[in-house]
Structure 1
Amino acid sequence: MPDERAFLNALVRRRQTPRGLATRARVILLSADHPEWTLSDIGQHVGLCDDTVSVWRRRFIQSGIDGLSDAPKSGAPRSIQDQRVEQVVRLTLDTPPENATHWSTRSMAKVSGLTQSAVHRIWQAFGLRPHLTSSFQLSKDPLLIEKVRDIVGLYLSPPDRALVLCVDEKPQIQALERGSTTFPMQLGQEERNGHTYIRHGTTTLIAALDARVGTVIGRCYPRHRTVEFLDFLEEIDRRVPSELAVHVILDNYITHKTRAVQGWLVLHPRYTFHFTPTSGSWLNLVESWFALLSRRRLRRGDFHSKDDLEQAIEAFIAQNNEHPQPFVWKRSADDILDSIRRFCLPYLGTSIS
């Protein structure tokens, strides 16, 4: 048939055609174009044995082009029926194991009568991971929605002729001197540190992050009281151009709301404080910068005094400001509130509006 020939030629020419299907199409075309050729002649041209050429010619005669496709493979019959799968899922979700906090494949296999591999496959199919847990903190702030929209709005659409600063304290940073030998990284082996250390006191870092640019204003203090916070506000005021309004994002720590701080705001009307929701410090981008500081400079640092620690922090800030990287907020307020809503519905049977 002309239509079949055109289709077979298209299969052979098309790059996306699976190699096996293209070879079978060539077998049929060679058989039609060279009726005098034997099975061995065709097999030599396409790289198949005589029996395989004979099989595909016979299947094409019986079923046409559909006969060139692989036949469905039946495989072994199911040994685990839906009722037993449902039993495993129900036990995992609704019934805690005896004398344990969560199921393991071994304990579930013992109770269900299945193999550990079968239990693992069922859990994988339904996205069940009993060995994992994660923490959460749901804000109970009655102004949660308003505060989320306010702060996210500052990130996504900052006001004209204004600076948005993310301010917070990182208290009790320990100056730890490693008391044991550190073995440096080698090929195939990570760096190794001992467990002993010597404490040389603590310091508190107060920092203000300009997320749009990535620069940081930071100072270390022995304590974090109202006095230190006011001193840091004065430091910000000296370093921010006087023609700019300043929007400060900060948490609900008590030193941020004292009468002395409120009086300072009265005397400095270009400043506006925006408080994150209760248990919502993740909205403050300076927390991401604190994590960067801990990961890159503090966690594996070796400090022989508190001054040594503070100099390291100041050097990190200076280097950060020489090559700043913006902190880009991507999620909208609606996305965040939708996430909270999706969490509340299945677990708490309620929602936020």
Structure 2
Amino acid sequence: MWCIGTITGEYLANLEDVLDVYAQPAEAGVVRLCFDERPCQLLDHVRTPLPPKPNAPAKEHQEYLRQGVCNVLLAYNLDTGQRHLQVTTTKTKADYAQFMDWLVQTHYPDASKIKLVQDNYATHSYGAFYEHLPLDTARDLRHRLEFHFTPKHGSWLNMAEIEFSALSRQCLDRRIGTQQRLEEEALCWQTKRNAAAVKVNWSFTTEKARDKLKNRYAELFKKTDETKLSDH
């Protein structure tokens, strides 16, 4: 479901920028990635679940133990249908910078440019590289990573959100009590999904956005015209 909120010029600019990235044909030496991260609560059993029986699922006690929170970082390649994830204890600028360094050096060392779609969370900045990585590494990432930010209340525009939805449904829909176990399960999910090269079938374009949101566009342009008239 969409959550659009107030339409501003900044919103439309970011919306169309992301959609234009998706609409571009694949280019040699250029990688297109969608990135997101989200916290996952670790929940453990108070009592050992009863194993399933014929025609009956496993049974678990309604009480559970909270074992803290970890963070899953995920990048999705919209051209190859590959996803790359890590699990960290925290969600900081350092975690973001180190993930991006690992992502580029491990998976895309030869890419001349990486177009990265992400939200504008405070840690998602070039500054994070300079604060937490060697200077030459930070400079290299700044030149190779081209940021494309989704608008505020526009997370639905990020294909990585779709991947997180699949991860939640297919892998994390049960109690997992440790970060190590969650990482093992998530990486197993990643391996299977990558082997099948599952791609997101994205069909929403800038042209469709202008048609779907034509009333919102009109409202914005009306305000712009009124402002121009008031200035005269």
Q: 1:234 is matched by which residue type in structure 2?
A: D
Residue 141 of structure 1: how far off its partner (Å): 4.5
**Which ranges in structure 1 are unaligned for 5 or more consecutive residues?**
1-133
Structure 1 CA distance, aligned partners of 2:109 and 2:90? 28
Cα distance in 2 for residues equivalent to 1:351 and 1:183: 58
TM-fit CA distance, 1:272: 0.4
Shift of 1:146: 2.1
Aligned with 2:37 (options 147, 166, 169): 169
Which residue is equivalent to 2:230? none
Residue correspondences, number: 212
Paired amino acid for 1:211: L
- The answer to whether residue 75 in structure 2 is matched with residue 208 in structure 1 is yes
Q: TM-score scaled by structure 1? A: 0.54
- Which has the greater radius of gyration? 1
Cα distance change of structure 1 residues 217 and 199 upon mapping to structure 2, 3 Å threshold: same
2:145 counterpart of 1:271: yes
Q: What are the within-5 Å matches in structure 2 for residues 1-353 of structure 1? A: 136-161=3-28, 162-171=30-39, 173-179=40-46, 181=49, 184=52, 187=55, 193-238=60-105, 239-257=107-125, 259-261=127-129, 266-268=139-141, 269-299=143-173, 301-342=174-215, 344=216, 351-353=219-221
- Residues 39-65 of structure 1, C-alpha deviations (whole Å, 9 max, x = no match): xxxxxxxxxxxxxxxxxxxxxxxxxxx
Alpha-carbon distance between aligned partners in 1 of 2:9 and 2:17, rounded to the nearest angstrom: 14
**Is the contact between residue 117 and residue 150 of structure 2 (CA under 8 Å) also seen in structure 1?**
yes
**Aligned AA (1:302):** R
Deviation at 1:295, TM superposition (A): 0.7
Residue by residue over 1:115-163, the C-alpha shift from the partner in whole angstroms, topping out at 9 and shown as x without a partner, is xxxxxxxxxxxxxxxxxxx884425443222222221111122451211
- SS of alignment partner, residue 149 of structure 1: helix
Of structures 1 and 2, the one with the larger relative CO (CA 8 A, separation 6+) is 2
- The CA RMSD measured in Å over matched residues stands at 2.7
Amino acid at match of 1:219: Q
Between the aligned partners of 1:304 and 1:271, the Cα distance in structure 2 is: 35
Structure 2 residue matching 1:254: 3-state secondary structure: coil
CA distance 1:270–1:215, shift in 2 (3 Å)? same
What displacement does 1:273 show?
0.4
1:136 to 1:275, Cα distance in 2 relative to 1, 3 A: closer
Letter matched to residue 270 of structure 1:
R
> Is the partner of 2:31 in helix, strand or coil?
strand
Q: CA, structure 1 residues 185+210, in 2 after alignment: closer, same or farther (shift >3 Å)? A: farther
| Matched letter for residue 296 of structure 1 | Q
Distance 1:313 1:337, change over 3 A: same
| Counterpart contact for 1:211–1:328, Cα < 8 Å | no
Q: Say which structure is richer in strand.
A: 2
Indicate conservation of the 8 Å contact 2:34/2:77, yes or no: yes
- Taking a change above 3 Å as real, the CA distance of residues 149 and 190 of structure 1, as seen in their structure-2 partners, is same
Matches of 1:174 and 1:331 in 2, distance apart?
32
Tell me the percent identity. 22
| TM-score, length-scaled by structure 2 | 0.79
Q: Counterpart of 2:77 in structure 1: which amino acid?
A: D
Q: 1:159 to 1:278 in 2, by over 3 A?
A: same
Q: C-alpha deviations, 1:42-96, integer Å up to 9, x for none?
A: xxxxxxxxxxxxxxxxxxxxxxxxxxxxxxxxxxxxxxxxxxxxxxxxxxxxxxx
Which amino acid in the other structure matches residue 189 of structure 2? Answer: F
- How far apart are residue 270 of structure 1 and its match? 2.1
- Cα deviation, residue 165, structure 1: 0.4
- TM-fit CA distance, 1:177: 1.9
Q: Which runs of 5+ in 2 are unaligned?
A: 222-232
CA displacement at 1:280 relative to structure 2: 0.7
Given that 1:177 and 1:198 are in contact with CA atoms closer than 8 Å, whether structure 2 keeps it comes out as yes
Distance 2:17 2:4 in 1: 20
Residue deviations 1:172-216 (CA, integer Å, cap 9, x gap): x122123354574865x7776542112222210111101222211
